[in-house]
Chain A
Amino acid sequence: MKQTGAARALRNGILILGPLLVIAVLVATQFGAARLSIAAVLAGDPIAETIFYSIRLPRVLLAALVGAILAVTGLTFQTLLRNPLADPFILGVSGGAACGAAVATALGLARIPGVIPAVAFGGACVAMAAVLLLARRGLTIDPSRLLLAGLVLNAFFSALILLALSLTGGSDLSAALRWMMGTFFSASWSDVVMLAVVLTLSLIALAAYGGELRLMAFGEDDARSRGVNTNAVVLIVFLVSSLATGAAVSVSGIIGFVGLLVPHAIRMIWKHDYRVLLPLAALGGGTLLVLADALSRSIMAPGELPIGALTALLGVPFFLVLLRRLAR
């Protein structure tokens, strides 16, 4: 059967972005402190194999998963808040998650499996609720208040992270920096598996509500009249997005602007609804963060630039352009 418009757009998008992600992953494994050739890995060189399978591959895959999650949640936050500037970092949701995770780590809870992601999820939910409370004006969300609320929350969470770490770990500022600027330095296979599960479940849940999200793009009144229980959809999508953000931040720290850059680029290229945009945003976000991470490892090798600093360098000019366009 001939596929219809949206299905065809999704297939084409996957055929373009899928291979791009695979290539990015393979290329990114080549970058890092030690030289590594794929040929040596395939030839069975034990050192090359160790570096590739225990360090490089989990790290690159983790970057792909985190990028996918941040891009997808950026898209859902933009939809629910009806604001093109919404992004897990700008809203303070990433900050809330990082704060929860950092505090739990400082308290020595990191050894209990599942605690860090769970606390990060709690932090993300608290931040989301706080943003909504602060930015609501009657029934609508005020865009400038939304940005202000995010700004203030981010400052508060940064302070809490520093406080928690200095109260427990002495003067180790690099740990704080890891949470606040993001890194994939300590990537492990267990992180990769956890995030892969979270991403898959989130995408399935969001795809199930793709039709509802598509109608909500036409406004809440319209969506309700088209059979959408908008309150339920908003609650479910917020929870799923906060959970996914929390899980991503719990392994990588705060990485901003991916959720802003990728959804806007995808929307500009594929002018379709969420059933098409969500999976493509995942692929695009994965590719972007894999490449950014490779760059962060190679700019001043063998040292590393925090990945969040790099995405901010890319994202801030883009944010300013969007802000100007919104002001007009």
Chain B
Amino acid sequence: MMELSSVGYAYAKGGGVDSVTTRFREGELVSLTGPNGSGKSTLMKLMARALDPQRGEVRLLDRPLAAWDRREFARETGYLPQEPEWLLPMRAIDVVLSGRAPFLERFRWESKEDYALAEQALADCDASHLADRLLEEMSGGERKRVFLARVLAGQPRLILLDEPLAALDLEHMQRFVEMLRTIVDVKGSTVVFISHDMNWSSACADRMLVMNGGRLVLEGPPREVMRPEVMLEHFNFRGEALQSDSGRSWIVPSR
């Protein structure tokens, strides 16, 4: 689906990512983890074309991003920024409808199909009741669900989510993780999400990526990442791993 080869981006003030090489396959749910400032969000911006790499190359479906028409690229991908922002007072349904924008011709309004997709996306995120509410009247978690619905409304094949779980309550974390699994398993989409929650990540992801200091330092199935040595080396976290009967790993703080 997407390949990164020696991708680099350095901010003037320091930080960024350095020669990251990896690939994301179709129908794969990948968790991107790492300590604060390790370059996760920057890497995702490079994948979402919010930033252009200074070195190396990102390819979607074997075509370099620079060779993609911007709108065509936007139709294939969906991106949830870490801190969604908005300038205008807007209702949830209109926010979600704007996820259909890459499909909209100039001077045209959304069709009924666009509306139907937006309403479905809101329902998928358990946010139908928010449709006519204004963003500024919502809680952080409700807003998050609306912006997630906005990503889903575009029916992207590659979904990039920067901390989708942050601000969600337990019920909606669970629903959301189940929904991501469904999208990946049923529709065959690829989902990459950033999270600091190692346990939710390992519970749902097929693969986990660990970044540290701008570099991709480890990638593999959850059981290879969810180890005390990894936690100590890359997260400076003293923890121990627990195994459940179902074979899942959990990391808990050492006493």
Interface residue ranges, A against B (CB under 8 Å): 1-7, 78-79, 82, 138, 207-208, 211, 214-215, 217-222, 224-229, 267-268, 271-273, 275, 277
Contacts and interface: CB of A to CB of B under 8 A. Distances in A.
Interface string B75-87: 1010101001111
Nearest to A82: B87
Interface stretch (B104-112, B171-179, B187-195, B233-241): B104-112
A217 B106 contact: no
Nearest to B45: A221
Contact of A225 (B72, B74, B98): B74
A272 B92 CA distance: 11
Given A4-B110, A6-B94, A207-B107, A271 B50 contact: no
A211 B48 contact: no
A122 B84 CA distance: 37
Given A225-B50, A225-B77, A227-B102, A6 B86 contact: no
Nearest to A226: B74
A138 B13 CA distance: 10
Interface centre among B51, B88, B102 (most CB of A within 10 A): B88
13 contacts: A1-B112, A4-B109, A5-B115, A138-B12, A208-B107, A218-B98, A222-B85, A224-B49, A224-B70, A225-B45, A226-B98, A267-B88, A272-B88
Contacts of A7: 109
B59 interface: no
B196 interface: no
Contact of A4 (B69, B98, B115): B115
Nearest to A214: B98
Size bin of chain B's contact surface: 35 or more
Given A227-B102, A229-B70, A271-B89, A5 B50 contact: no
Interface string B93-105: 1100110011010
B91 A271 contact: yes
Given A5-B93, A227-B73, A218 B86 contact: yes
Given A222-B50, A227-B71, A273 B88 contact: yes
B218 interface: no
B42 to A, nearest CB: 11
**Top 5 A-B pairs ranked by shortest CB distance?**
A227-B74, A221-B50, A227-B71, A225-B48, A217-B87
B230 interface: no
Contacts of B104: 211
A273 B186 CA distance: 34
Contact of B90 (A82, A221, A268, A272): A272
Contacts of B51: 221, 224
B134 interface: yes
Nearest to A78: B87
B106 A211 contact: yes
Contacts of B94: 5-6, 271-273
B12 to A, nearest CB: 8
A281 B45 CA distance: 34
Contact of B98 (A82, A215, A271): A215
Given A82-B87, A221-B81, A273-B90, A226 B101 contact: yes
Contacts of A229: 70
Contact of B111 (A4, A215, A221, A271): A4
Nearest to A9: B94
Contacts of A207: 107
B81 A271 contact: no
B49 A225 contact: yes
A4 B88 contact: no
Interface centre among A6, A79, A211, A229 (most CB of B within 10 A): A211
B81 to A, nearest CB: 5
A217 B86 contact: yes
A268 B136 CA distance: 13
A273 B100 CA distance: 14
Given A4-B112, A211-B104, A227-B71, 20 more contacts: A2-B112, A6-B97, A211-B106, A214-B98, A214-B101, A215-B98, A217-B88, A218-B85, A219-B84, A221-B50, A222-B84, A224-B50, A224-B70, A225-B79, A226-B79, A226-B98, A227-B73, A227-B75, A267-B88, A272-B90
Contacts of A277: 88
A267 B90 CA distance: 9
Interface centre among B45, B72, B85, B86 (most CB of A within 10 A): B85
Given A218-B86, A225-B49, A6 B134 contact: no
B83 to A, nearest CB: 8
A198 to B, nearest CB: 20
Contacts of B98: 214-215, 218, 226, 273
Contact of A226 (B45, B102, B115): B102
Contacts of A138: 12-13
A7 B104 CA distance: 14
Contacts of A79: 87
